Amino acid sequence: MATLVVDPFFVQYESGDDLQLPEHRLIGVRGAFVVAEDQSYLLLYDFEAEDYVLACRQSDGRLTAWGIRGDAASTFLAR
């Protein structure tokens, strides 16, 4: 993972959190910092939720997340 760490930069991503329980879902466009990147997968730090989230860059450039959240290492390894 260390070789995939990037200088953090701000992005907005679409959170669906389909894998989370309904009461824990964070839905909608959210702000975060990219901290690691591996091709189309990005590890984001969602500063409002105070956790990391795995996102995917779509062919149209949008970033989407489906609910893989938690600590940095486990979240990024889920890709």
Distance CA 41, CA 68 (A): 12
Closest CA to 27 of 1, 58, 53: 53
Q: Per-residue pLDDT tens for 32-79?
A: 999 999 999 999 999 999 999 999 999 999 999 998 999 999 999 888
Task: Read off the pTM.
Answer: 0.88
CA pair distance 6, 49, nearest whole angstrom = 21
Question: Residue 27 above 90 pLDDT?
Answer: no
**17-21, 22-26, 44-48, 61-65: the lowest-pLDDT one:** 17-21
Residue of 44, 10, 14 whose CA lies nearest to 26: 14
**Would the CA dihedral through 6, 10, 15, 17 be positive or negative?**
positive
Q: How many Å separate Cα 58 from the centre of its chain?
A: 13
